[in-house]
Amino acid sequence: MAAEYSDRCHSTTRVLAVGDCNTSGITVPPIGNTIVDKFCRHLETRGYQTSSQNLGYGMATSREGVQLMRHEAERADVVLINFGLVDTWITSIPRCYISYYPESVVKKPVRKLLKFVKRRLRAPWLRRLVPVGPVVPIEEYEENIRQIISLALAKNPSATILLWGSPPVQGDSKRNQNLLRYDERLCRIAKDLNSTFLTTVDILASLPAREAYLDTVHLGEAATESIAVGLMETYQSRQLAGAG
């Protein structure tokens, strides 16, 4: 154990996080340190030296995740991946999509116009005529997640991949059903690729809503802290299993 602690002190564990707004962190109102910050802090209290790269991106789907990994990601020893909150959003004409990354001055006004049109298509009588579905279909979502993992492992084949499920939202049971479907797919991917999946459903259920959420969707301090602890414990369990 002493030798293991010494190794930790003389090497840096590089942590990469990629995901949506709950990975990037909410700045208005500010929630303090992000999940990856808290994850690193908990590892440091256990003798690790850490460095981190946070590729969380507001409104990001797994599509943006692939591009972020391709263009921005650095080599990492631990990779935290979470997508689903935006992927599962039900929208009109889902094939019409303008990505948020890479952003440009051209994309912004066009995206604003597209959102305006889609809002006008929410009328029930129009929904019978206009295609409706998730922003990212579940099969494409799986393909994107697998590609994100592949890109991470290309930089470091021995990296530990931790997938964590999107938290349920408040007051929208249909959306939560979709989130569960995508989380189940994440769990399956983790089993296929020797990665680890952490569900957040039980973590959020154990907290009062006023402590877990800033609003109906975004996570607050108590939730991000609990998820960071869960990820840290999951990571340590994998390390112990590997050492055994």
Nearest CA to 168 out of 135, 130, 209 is that of: 209
In this structure, the answer to whether residues 100 and 84 fall within a common structural domain is no
- The residue out of 79, 102, 134 marking a domain boundary is 134
In this structure, the answer to whether residues 143 and 190 fall within a common structural domain is yes
Domain total for the chain?
2
In this structure, the answer to whether residues 66 and 95 fall within a common structural domain is no
In this structure, the answer to whether residues 225 and 149 fall within a common structural domain is yes
At 29 the pLDDT is 62
In this structure, the answer to whether residues 98 and 203 fall within a common structural domain is no
Q: How many CB atoms lie within 10 A of CB 61?
A: 26
Domain assignment present for residue 244? The answer is no
Domain assignment present for residue 49? The answer is yes
At 5 the pLDDT is 47
In this structure, the answer to whether residues 199 and 126 fall within a common structural domain is no
At 28 the pLDDT is 67
At 35 the pLDDT is 96
Please, where are the H alpha helices in the chain?
A: 2-10, 21-24, 35-44, 62-71, 107-120, 124-127, 138-155, 173-192, 201-205, 209-212, 221-243
In this structure, the answer to whether residues 64 and 149 fall within a common structural domain is yes
Parallel/antiparallel/unpaired status of strands 90-92 and 196-198: unpaired
Per the structure, the complete domain to which residue 112 belongs is given by 91-134
Domain assignment present for residue 243? The answer is no
At 8 the pLDDT is 53
Domain assignment present for residue 1? The answer is no
In this structure, the answer to whether residues 23 and 112 fall within a common structural domain is no
In this structure, the answer to whether residues 198 and 168 fall within a common structural domain is yes
In this structure, the answer to whether residues 33 and 81 fall within a common structural domain is yes
In this structure, the answer to whether residues 202 and 158 fall within a common structural domain is yes
- The residue out of 99, 134, 169 marking a domain boundary is 134
Q: Which one-letter amino acid corresponds to residue 78?
A: V
The first and second tokens of residue 57, run together, are 């991106």
Q: How far apart are CA 33 and CA 28, in angstroms?
A: 13
Q: How far apart are CA 228 and CA 40, in angstroms?
A: 9
Domain assignment present for residue 240? The answer is no
Domain assignment present for residue 96? The answer is yes
In this structure, the answer to whether residues 227 and 162 fall within a common structural domain is yes
Domain assignment present for residue 195? The answer is yes
At 183 the pLDDT is 97
At 12 the pLDDT is 96
33 Rama class: left (phi>0) / alpha (psi -120 to 50) / beta = beta
Q: By CB neighbour count within 10 A (0-12 exposed, 13-18 middle, 19+ buried), where does 94 fall?
A: middle
Q: Three-state SS for 98?
A: coil
What CATH number is given to the structural domain containing 83? 3.40.50.1110
Domain assignment present for residue 34? The answer is yes
- Taking the chain (244 residues) in runs of 10, the rounded mean pLDDT of each run is 50 97 80 87 96 95 98 98 96 89 89 83 70 93 98 98 96 94 98 97 94 92 95 93 68
Query: Which CA distances in Å does 11 have to 5, 42, 61, 81, 199?
Result: 10, 16, 33, 23, 30
